Amino acid sequence: MIGRKHISNFGSVRSLERGLLILQTLNRRNGLKAAEVAAATSIPRPTVYRLLETLEGLGFVSRDHSSEKWRPTLQAKSLSSGFRHEDWVTQAAVPEMVRLGREILWPLDLVTFNDHQMEIRESTHNISPYSIDHGMVGVQLPVLDTAGGRAYLAFSREEERAQTLAGLRAKLGLQNPVMLQDGPLMHVLDRCRTLGVGYRKEGYRLSTQSISAPIYSGPRVLACLTVIWTSSALSFEKALDQYRDKLLATARGITDALEQLEVPD
């Protein structure tokens, strides 16, 4: 916690103190709305808004497009070594997600593997006119029954995939061969590799279907980008034809952006 004592003979600068306190508060939490920042710091809300906008202008915080929450950016996190690859991919992905989302109108989710589940790190549901879901950031999804989870497994390196599947079998009590609603797991993963994307036609959500493209950091699948549509509005084959190439190109663009960054180990 930032102390309140003077930091020099000239006295502390109150706005600097408050700005650092806000940055510190955001860094401890996975994003906060401005009102939540005000409550957590006891700083008046108008002052919080002004300081957040100042920090945004300096490149230290950014506003989440889907949840209106504020988070530290890469520039802020570069002040310390305690940040993860996923933080980098979120920053690199958001502009491309918004661009593609505005083009195709269907919602997109950015998912990463976390504790035997896929976690939604970013989403365009709140800006998609076709979305029936909101507030998806932070939602955890099953690996085996979602397009993002299948993309993660299908395109991961063999040893990493084997470790992930061993963990899933132990956690879920699965027996080999693993059978899914739409066939044997290994057949599904082979189909994903043939298509170039993970896919879900049924299972997790009967009213929707989805495809998902891998995002890489070197040889490792770091995240997956998923487009979701309503199955009654669009057949799987038509959606695949219309959106697969655009989704893959967007995922490659995010991968290329990551290669330009000095991603920490």
Q: Residues near 93 by Cβ (< 8 Å), separated by ≥ 6?
A: 110, 122, 215, 223, 225, 254
User: What digits encode the pLDDT tens for the residues 99-144?
Assistant: 999 999 999 999 999 889 999 888 888 788 888 776 677 788 999 9
Confidence (pLDDT) at 10 = 41
Instruction: Determine the pLDDT at residue 51.
Output: 93
55-104 pLDDT, tens per residue?
Answer: 988 888 888 766 788 887 756 655 654 445 556 666 788 889 999 999 99
Q: Which residues make beta-bridge pairs with 223?
A: 215
CA neighbor of 84 nearest in space, from 220, 243, 252: 220
Span of 77-86, 151-160, 254-263 with lowest mean pLDDT: 77-86
Q: In what order do the strands lie in the sheet with 117-123?
A: 140-141, 117-123, 108-114, 220-230, 208-217, 198-200
- For 232-257, what is the mean pLDDT? 96
pLDDT of residue 213: 98
Return left, alpha or beta for 224; rule: phi > 0 is left, psi -120 to 50 is alpha, else beta: beta
Q: Which residue has the higher pLDDT, 33 or 13?
A: 33
How far is residue 131 CA from its own chain's centroid?
Answer: 17
The model's confidence at residue 24, banded by pLDDT at 50, 70 and 90, is confident
pLDDT of residue 127: 82
In the DSSP assignment, the letter for residue 125 is: G
pLDDT digits (tens, 9 = 90+) for 158-208: 999 999 999 998 888 888 888 888 899 999 999 999 999 999 998 777 889
Task: Give residues with Cβ within 8 angstroms of 151, minimum separation 6.
Answer: 192, 197, 198, 212, 213, 214, 221, 224, 226
Per-residue pLDDT of 47-66, as tens digits, reads 999 999 999 888 888 887 66
- Return the bridge partners of 113, or none: 118
Whether pTM exceeds 0.85: no
Could you give the residue ranges of the DSSP H alpha helices within 115-222? Answer: 147-155, 158-172, 185-195
Q: Does the pLDDT value for residue 212 go beyond 90?
A: yes
d(CA 2, CA 193): 51
Q: Specify the pLDDT at position 106.
A: 96
Position 11 scores a pLDDT of 42
- Which residues are within 8 A (CB) of 158 and not within 5 positions of it... i.e. 6 or more apart? none
pLDDT score at 132 = 73
In terms of DSSP bridges, do strands 183-184 and 198-200 run parallel, antiparallel, or are they unpaired? unpaired
